[in-house]
Each structure stands twice: as C-alpha cells, then as structure tokens.
Amino acid sequence: MLDAMRRGAQGWVAKFLFAILILSFAVWGVADVFTGRGRTSLATVGDSEISPADFQRAFSQELSAISRQAGQRITTEQARAFGLDQRVMQRLVGAAAVDSHVGKLGLALSTDELIEGLKTDPSFFGADGKYSRQVVQSIMDQLDLSERGFFELRRKEELRRQLTGSIVAGIAAPAPLIDAIHAYREEKRVISFFRIDPDKVVKVAAADEAKLKAVYDANKSEFVTPALRKLAVLVLSIDDLKKRVAVSDDEIKSVYEAERATYDTPEKRRIQQIAFKDMAAAEAASTAIRQGKSFADAAKDAGAKESDIDLGLLTRSQIIDPKIADVAFGLAKDAVSAPVQGRFATVLLRVTAIEPGTSKTLADVKDKVREKIAAEKAQVEAHKLHDEVDDGRSGGKTLKQIAEALGLTFAEVAETDRTNKTSDGKTALELPNADLIIAGGFEAQVGVEQEPVALPDGGYAWIDALSVTAPQQKAFDAVKDAVAKLYEKDERARQLREAADKMAARVRAGEALAAVAADAGGNVETLQPITRVTTPQGLSRPAVAQAFALLKGGASSAESPDQQSRSVFRVDDIVPAPEPTKEQREKLAKEIGGEMENDIISTYVAGLEARLGVNIDRAALDRLTGGTTQ
C-alpha cells in the first residue's frame, strides 16, 4: 500500500514533500534541517543529535503527505502498522550520518547555485509552467520554515545527492543477470482448465445447535458490535471561507491584466519544413515549386520523407528559431515561403492548417479570476483562523464555543464507528471529508487535545473525542442466523477444496482432463501461452502462480476468480523465453542498475552509522508515537 501511496502526488505541496521527504534515497529522511536540537535527545549519530521535535515534525509531514496521496487520513496506528515511525527514524539517522560525512569531506554549495537549481526544478513551477517565487514562499509557509531554513534544507539534500551520486556512478547490471531475469519474466505456459459446478459436488446439511455453537465460539471476534465514539468537530473549510472574503472588481481587473496571457489560447499552425545544405539548393527547390512541383516531391528530391518534414501543430513560442517562427506565422494557408536562413539550416516552409487563437475578455473569465482571488484570500484567512482556534483551545474554550465566536462549522457526533455509521446504520457525520474527520476522531484520546486534521482543500478539522464505547460481544441467540451462514460458507469451501484436490490428483495420474471435467459439470478451456504476470479470463492470480511452479503435465486447483467455486488446471506446455531485444535489455539494465544503486547506498549509509555509532531511545520513541517498546 505504501508503494501505491507514493504514486501520483497531487498538488505542488505534496509533490515537494514527496520529492524531498519520500522520493529521496530510501535510507534517509529530511527533518535534519529543522530546529529543535539541544534538549532531550531521541537519538544520537556520532556527535549529532536527533531531538523529539525533529522526529515529530518529520513524522507529521510524511504522514500528512501520504494521507494526501492516499486520499484519506492515515492514522498514527495505521502508520505504525506499516512501520512508518521506524522508517522515519531510520531516515533521520541515515541523513545525520551522511551529513556528517559531507562535512568531513568539505563539500559545499553556494546560495547562487541553489537558486539556479530551484529555477529548473518543476516542483517550484507555477500554473504557467515557469519558476514561481510565490510557490516557494507557499512551500516555506506550509513547512513552517524561514528562508534560511528552506535553503539549508535544499543545500543538505543536494549535497547528499552529489555525494551518493558519485558513489554509484558507473554501476552497470551484469549481462548474465539480465538474461536470467528476462528468461524468468518472459517464459510462457500453455494451461488447460475447467471450473467445478458447486452444485455437482457440494451438499451442505443443516448444522445442529452444537455445531453452530462451536462455530460461534471459534469466531467470536466476527460477532461483536463496532467500537463507537462521541465526537465534537470544528471545521475550518476553505470553501466556506471563500464565501466570506470580499473580492472587489478592481482586484479582479488587476489580476486579469497581470495574467491575461494565461487565459488566452495562442494561434497554432501545422507546419512543414524542408531543410537544405545551402541557400543555392533552397532557391533551386523554391523555383521548382513555383513552376509546379509539389512540396512533397521537393522534399523527396532533398532526401526527406514526408514524415520528416511535418513539424506538427505548433504555437509560435514552440518554434525555437525566431526567424523561422516569424515567417511561418506570416504565411497564408498552403503557401510556401521563400528560402529562410535559419539558425541551423536554410529551409522552405509551408503551412497546411491554421487554428486561430482565442482571446478571453475580462467578462469571459471574471468568475474564474474571482474564484482564484477568493481561494488565495481564504488560504490567508485560514492561517489566521487556525491560530485563533489554537488560542481559544489554549484558553480553555470548547470547540463549540470557538466555532460560535469565529463563525465556523461545528458538529457534535452522538455516536459513530470507523466507517462513519451509527449503531443503526445511518450516516453519522454529514460533512465534506467526513471519512478523514472520523479517522482523526478515532486517533484522538478522550480528554487530550489533538493536532488538527489537514483537509484536502487546505482547511483543517479539530476533533475532540468526548467518550468511547468499547466493542461488545453479541450473544449467540442474537446472531444465530449469521453463524449458520458462516457455517454453510465454510463447509461449502471445505467440500469444494476436497473435491478439487481429488480431481487434480486424477489428472496427475493420467486421466483425461475432459473426463474429469464432465464429472465436475465443467468444460475444458485451453489458454494461449501466458506469462507469469498475465491474469487470463477464467483463472485467478493464485492459479497462474501455481501453474508456473509446476512441471509440464502437472495439475492443481485454486479458487475461481469469482470466489464461488474452484478451478482445476493442468500445464500442457512450457515455452522458454526468446532472446531479449535491445530495448528489453536496456530496460532491464536500467531497472537492475537502480536496485543495485539503492543497495550500494544502503550499504554505504550502514557503514557510516556503524563507524559513527547510533543510539536510539526506543522508549522515548514509543512514547511519542504511542507504540510498544520492542
């Protein structure tokens, strides 16, 4: 799941967090640049210290980033289950070790070099696709960093990349390893199978009272009421704030004028171009075209295919050579230019299609501009209100009192389970992002103030757990029907599995697959050769995995894709992998090389840690995360 969470971070803040906090080398983290040293140490690496504040900020930032990526609030308990707390600490330790080595080697980067790097990093581009100082400032605000702290963060990250990059430079995947992995992945198998008709082999008799009680006793955890919580919720929503902020017509006009180009659609032209070795050859071709030769024939005479001369549908700004751009955008449709002496070659140009540009007036985009300004103002107002809510909580006010004073949304949830349902199955909280809020409520402790939950729109939700109702065991008589259904389900699965195993044994013994299929009420199907990663219609992934573990002629069974029956299958043939193509070799070499680099860097960092010495206060770490000391 954590791998899935890393894919496709949404929004520039999440992209930055993932680029800096997660997609860095797998062995370190990022909280090393935050302040907070010098008090009680959570860990030491040589002479370097990692404070509780270092860890809490790194853990919180990564947890927030992963929650945004997953589209739901990941609780501290879930994060611990995935080992996120341990990984964050490992990264902090690895970062401290590498930073120590950087210092001993005397490596450094100037601020000017850092700024140039920022200007070419897409993480800091604005909506227009260019470097934006406002984006950088917003990221600093989100990370609660001063400009100095931000540049220190960036400097350390770049120095680590340079040092580790030099260590893994020149790494290449061995050819025998490439061949072995290719052979494994591209091997194919021909599989025949049939699906058992459950009605042919399953006969489940009604269970008596004793059997049902035995099933109930063995599965008591399935027959409990869910844990319920009573919550108080205060929501600071950006959408609500946008309705409260005032946006004047003068502001709208000013922003429109400053960003007018972003609302316009530039003219596009489909351009053809023939390049010549010199002006004389271009003039000769131009004369021939004026005398009736086609542009395509002139291109052939110049040694170019028709596909070579088509530059595509372009805007003026997409043409690198300004002289060629001026000529191309001055031609009429289907007209051919005179020879043009460009930067790199002498060319003839032809325009085959023109898509006129559009210019949006203020009236056309007024609502869009208003929305943009309102969103920016709402974000500023959200920061202000965030502090006011915290001030109110510090002053002993309840969330309801704070909401009334500030005009924010408040809700009291009388009872809810983790799925936002009441005990009678109704929706407990009718608010946007309710799932995130409820998840935060189940992370909270009664009587303890929690950090607010960050909402996807940039807002916040404060949640107080008012009371907790523990799960209750349901009496046997109350769930007798459900116990009977569970018994029937388990018994059907048992009988199906036993019947399938016997049928597979008959096939392994040499009996015809069709004859065994007839007894099972199924029809034999034979697949075209498939690889290990193929999931063919009619067979489940476990069935394919088993088939690739069998020898030719081997047979076994697995649950059917619909999970209502089982399939019996036989490996009819094994097709070895063909020789890898050049493209396949290059792709595998890149993949294996990346894994080798990660292993080398991990070994390097582990060596640094062993040399410097690492001491982690596990008890203090567990107190911070609510885990169990190991």
Domain extents for the chain? 2-170+600-625, 188-219+479-575, 228-238+380-469, 265-355
pTM of the model: 0.53
pLDDT at 171 over 60: yes
pLDDT at 17 over 80: no
Cβ–Cβ < 8 Å for 411, 233:
yes
Per-residue model confidence (pLDDT) at position 128: 64
Per-residue model confidence (pLDDT) at position 61: 79
- In 196-336, which ranges are continuous DSSP H helix? 198-201, 209-218, 238-244, 249-258, 260-263, 279-290, 295-301, 306-309, 322-328
Most confident stretch, 125-129, 252-256, 287-291, 378-382: 287-291
Which CATH class for the 2-170+600-625 domain?
Answer: mainly alpha
Per-residue model confidence (pLDDT) at position 40: 63
| Per-residue confidence band for 33, with pLDDT thresholds at 50, 70 and 90 | very low
The sign of the torsion formed by the CA atoms of 82, 84, 85, 89 equals positive
Per-residue model confidence (pLDDT) at position 305: 77
Give the residue among 358, 270, 272, 355 at the shortest CA–CA distance from 314: 270
Most confident stretch, 25-29, 555-559, 609-613: 555-559
For residue 513, the 8-state DSSP code is: H
Do 265-355 and 188-219+479-575 have the same topology in CATH? yes
The whole-number average pLDDT for the span 547-565 is: 94
The whole-number average pLDDT for the span 189-199 is: 95
The whole-number average pLDDT for the span 573-601 is: 93
Per-residue model confidence (pLDDT) at position 397: 92
Which CATH class for the 265-355 domain?
Answer: alpha beta
Q: Give the rounded percent of residues in the chain with a pLDDT score beyond 70.
A: 91
- Of residues 377 and 69, the one with the higher pLDDT is 377
Per-residue model confidence (pLDDT) at position 630: 40
Per-residue model confidence (pLDDT) at position 506: 96
Among 451-460, 578-587, 604-613, the minimum mean pLDDT is found in: 451-460
| Per-residue confidence band for 513, with pLDDT thresholds at 50, 70 and 90 | very high
| Per-residue confidence band for 24, with pLDDT thresholds at 50, 70 and 90 | very low
Q: Which two tokens stand for residue 389?
A: 């809510």
pLDDT at 22 over 80: no
Per-residue model confidence (pLDDT) at position 4: 32
Q: Which two tokens stand for residue 528?
A: 């075209």
pLDDT at 65 over 80: no
Per-residue model confidence (pLDDT) at position 357: 85
Phi and psi at residue 573, to the nearest 5° = -160, 155
Q: Which two tokens stand for residue 20?
A: 């800096």
Q: Which two tokens stand for residue 484?
A: 């009977």
The whole-number average pLDDT for the span 465-481 is: 91
Q: Give the rounded percent of residues in the chain with a pLDDT score beyond 90.
A: 41
The dotted CATH code for 188-219+479-575 is: 3.10.50
Mean pLDDT computed over every residue of the chain: 85
Per-residue model confidence (pLDDT) at position 499: 95
User: Sheet of 614-616: strands edge to edge?
Assistant: 48-50, 43-45, 614-616
- Of residues 21 and 176, the one with the higher pLDDT is 176
| Per-residue confidence band for 213, with pLDDT thresholds at 50, 70 and 90 | very high
- Of residues 492 and 56, the one with the higher pLDDT is 492
The whole-number average pLDDT for the span 82-88 is: 86
User: Sheet of 228-236: strands edge to edge?
Assistant: 409-416, 228-236, 460-469, 453-454
- Of residues 389 and 134, the one with the higher pLDDT is 389
Report d(CA 282, CA 276) in Å as an integer: 6
- Of residues 524 and 162, the one with the higher pLDDT is 524
